[in-house]
């Protein structure tokens, strides 16, 4: 059976259970809404990263700065040589977003828990409400890897060019413009509905089984290649705010080994609210 291109990027629940006491491993729960997830019970020893408070800049529409990323990890007792395992609510959307940020800032060993919070709970594995405390660590992030991220001007520049493919990972209703935000975000819609011209719609969820684990490499490769998303192209993934597109970015880059994949985290909340940019419906 074929294996994933980067097999170390993904761990299963049994691996996590065996490493709960490993001082070289730090488990991090990344939540959009900690009050309905982490605070009700989490993997023993897991620290909390609140997506809105911890992974976003407090003033401008952007991810946290390099300096803030260093402070966040130091506070969590994470060093540069720590194995970081991420999981969270919303089917690992925000854990995948955190994975992308870790790679953006050059962390060597970061992994995603296959199946995330849902699978851990369904298997009746231990949960705790106890919040752990670790001694502060020294953490030094690298300069952000620009090859992993796309900004709006970049997307405008490469849109429609040969050898570039845009993957809209939102629902078909969002892609066509029928709705401007998914039900999970009723108050966070864009002014206009539709999609970036030329984008292919492959919803992020098609890469997962019902238990939130990822499909096998052959199934994933067939899913994307049949839609023209092939490894010889530059791929740009996007959704609404960059979290669901991080799941597809993870699949293409780490599970299938596509060499040139960028996440456009501005996504539709930026594109659909920007004056003068083209849309399709």
Q: Is 111 helix (H, G, I), strand (E, B) or coil?
A: strand
Per the CB < 8 A criterion, the answer to whether 263 and 237 are in contact is yes
Per the CB < 8 A criterion, the answer to whether 104 and 149 are in contact is yes
Nearest to 10 by CA among 277, 265, 255: 255
Can you list the positions of beta strands (E) in 179-264? Answer: 200-201, 234-238, 261-263
Per the CB < 8 A criterion, the answer to whether 66 and 144 are in contact is yes
Residue labelled with tokens 């935000």 = 181
Contacts of 129 (CB under 8 A, 6+ apart): 39, 40, 41, 42
Q: How many CA atoms lie within 13 A of 223 on its CB side?
A: 22
Which one of 141, 239, 252, 261 is the catalytic residue?
239
CA–CA dist 262, 199 (Å, integer)? 14
Per the CB < 8 A criterion, the answer to whether 114 and 92 are in contact is no
Query: Does the active-site annotation cover 91?
Result: no
CA–CA dist 47, 30 (Å, integer)? 9
Q: Is 201 helix (H, G, I), strand (E, B) or coil?
A: strand
CA–CA dist 59, 73 (Å, integer)? 20
CA–CA dist 214, 246 (Å, integer)? 14
Which residues are part of the catalytic machinery? 239
């Amino acid at each position: 059976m074929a294996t994933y291109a980067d097999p170390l990027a993904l761990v299963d629940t049994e691996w996590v259970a065996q490493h709960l006491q490993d001082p070289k491993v730090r488990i991090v729960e990344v939540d959009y809404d900690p009050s309905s997830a982490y605070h009700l019970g989490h993997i023993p020893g897991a620290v909390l990263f609140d997506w809105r408070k911890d992974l976003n800049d407090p003033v401008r529409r952007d991810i946290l700065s390099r300096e803030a990323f260093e402070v966040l990890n130091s506070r969590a007792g994470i060093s540069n040589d720590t194995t970081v395992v991420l999981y969270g609510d919303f089917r690992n959307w925000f854990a995948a977003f955190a994975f992308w940020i870790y790679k953006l800032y050059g962390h060597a060993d970061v992994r995603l828990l296959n199946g995330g919070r849902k699978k851990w709970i369904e298997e009746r594995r231990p949960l705790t409400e106890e919040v752990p405390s670790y001694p502060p660590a020294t953490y030094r992030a690298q300069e952000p890897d620009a090859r992993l991220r796309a900004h709006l001007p970049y997307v405008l520049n490469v849109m429609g060019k040969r050898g570039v493919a845009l993957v809209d990972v939102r629902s078909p209703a969002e892609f066509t413009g029928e709705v401007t935000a998914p039900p999970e975000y009723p108050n966070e819609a864009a002014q206009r509905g539709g999609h970036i011209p030329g984008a292919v719609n492959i919803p992020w969820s098609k890469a997962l089984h019902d238990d939130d684990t990822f499909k096998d490499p052959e199934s994933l490769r067939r899913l994307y290649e049949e839609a023209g998303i092939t490894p010889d192209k530059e791929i740009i993934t996007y959704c609404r705010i960059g979290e669901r597109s991080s799941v597809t970015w993870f699949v293409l880059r780490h599970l299938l080994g596509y060499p040139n994949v960028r996440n456009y985290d501005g996504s539709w909340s930026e594109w659909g609210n920007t004056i003068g940019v083209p849309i399709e419906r």
